[in-house]
Structure 1
Amino acid sequence: MRPSARFAYGLRVHGLAGVTELMPAGTDPLPEVAVQQDTDSPRPDPHPLDDRRGVRLLADGRHLAVDRERRTAVLHGPPLTSDLLAHPYLAPVATPFNRWAGRETFHAGGFVRDGRAWAVTGPRTAGKSSLLAALAARDVPVVADDVLVVEGTDVYAGPRCVDLREPVPGVLLSSGPARARTRTRVHLPPIAHRTPLGGWFFLHWGDAVETKPVPPATLLARLAAWRSWHQLPTDPAVLLALATLPAWELTRPRDWGTLDQVCALLEATPATVGEVVLR
Structure 2
Amino acid sequence: MTGRFAYGLRVYGLDDVTDLMPAEPGDDLPEVTIRQHDGPRPTEVPLDRWRQVRLLADGRHLTVDRRTGTATFHGPPLTPDLLAHPYLAPPAVVVNRWAGRETFHAGAFVRHGRAYAVLGPRTAGKSSLLAALAARDVPVLADDVAVVHDGAVFAGPRCIDLRQPVPGAALAGRTAREGSRTRVPLPPIAVRAPLAGWFFLRWGDGPAATRLAAIDALGRLAAERSWPQLPSDPAVLLGLAALPAWELTRPRDWTALERTWRLIASVTESADLATAGRPA
2:156 to 133, 141, 158: 158
Where in structure 1 are there 5+ consecutive unaligned residues? none
In the TM superposition, 1:84-163 aligns within 5 A as 84-163=82-161
Moved more, 210-219 or 168-177: 168-177
Give the deviation of 1:105 after TM superposition: 0.3
- In the superposition, relative to structure 1, how do residues 266 and 52 fare at CA in structure 2: closer, same or farther (>3 Å)? same
| 1:246–1:277 CA contact under 8 A, matched in 2 | no
- In the superposition, relative to structure 1, how do residues 251 and 74 fare at CA in structure 2: closer, same or farther (>3 Å)? same
**Aligned-partner Cα distance in 1 for 2:159–2:103:** 18
In the TM superposition, 1:1-279 aligns within 5 A as 2-3=1-2, 5-27=3-25, 28-40=27-39, 42-45=40-43, 51-277=49-275, 279=278
Give the deviation of 1:43 after TM superposition: 2.1
- In the superposition, relative to structure 1, how do residues 139 and 169 fare at CA in structure 2: closer, same or farther (>3 Å)? same
Per-residue CA deviations over 1:107-146 (Å, capped at 9, x if unaligned) read 0001000110000011111111000000001000001111
| 2:161–2:182 CA contact under 8 A, matched in 1 | yes
**Aligned-partner Cα distance in 2 for 1:229–1:184:** 27
Give the deviation of 1:46 after TM superposition: 11
**Aligned-partner Cα distance in 1 for 2:275–2:48:** 38
SS in 2 for 1:87: helix
- In the superposition, relative to structure 1, how do residues 128 and 49 fare at CA in structure 2: closer, same or farther (>3 Å)? farther
| 2:119–2:224 CA contact under 8 A, matched in 1 | no
**Aligned-partner Cα distance in 1 for 2:162–2:122:** 12
**Aligned-partner Cα distance in 1 for 2:190–2:171:** 20
Give the deviation of 1:47 after TM superposition: 9.2
- In the superposition, relative to structure 1, how do residues 99 and 228 fare at CA in structure 2: closer, same or farther (>3 Å)? same
**Aligned-partner Cα distance in 2 for 1:236–1:79:** 39
SS in 1 for 2:220: helix
Give the deviation of 1:267 after TM superposition: 2.1
| 2:206–2:249 CA contact under 8 A, matched in 1 | yes
Q: Runs in 1 of length 4+ with deviation above 6 angstroms?
A: 46-49
TM-score normalised over the length of structure 2: 0.95
- In the superposition, relative to structure 1, how do residues 74 and 173 fare at CA in structure 2: closer, same or farther (>3 Å)? same
- In the superposition, relative to structure 1, how do residues 277 and 46 fare at CA in structure 2: closer, same or farther (>3 Å)? farther
Give the deviation of 1:227 after TM superposition: 1.3
**Aligned-partner Cα distance in 1 for 2:242–2:11:** 32
Report the identity percentage.
Answer: 64
**Aligned-partner Cα distance in 2 for 1:45–1:84:** 25
- In the superposition, relative to structure 1, how do residues 46 and 251 fare at CA in structure 2: closer, same or farther (>3 Å)? farther
- In the superposition, relative to structure 1, how do residues 38 and 254 fare at CA in structure 2: closer, same or farther (>3 Å)? same
Amino acid at match of 2:36: Q
**Aligned-partner Cα distance in 2 for 1:46–1:151:** 35
Per-residue CA deviations over 1:225-246 (Å, capped at 9, x if unaligned) read 2112222221111111111100
| 1:46–1:63 CA contact under 8 A, matched in 2 | no
- In the superposition, relative to structure 1, how do residues 50 and 262 fare at CA in structure 2: closer, same or farther (>3 Å)? farther
**How many correspondences in the alignment?**
276
- In the superposition, relative to structure 1, how do residues 65 and 260 fare at CA in structure 2: closer, same or farther (>3 Å)? same
Give the deviation of 1:45 after TM superposition: 4.5
**Aligned-partner Cα distance in 1 for 2:125–2:46:** 31
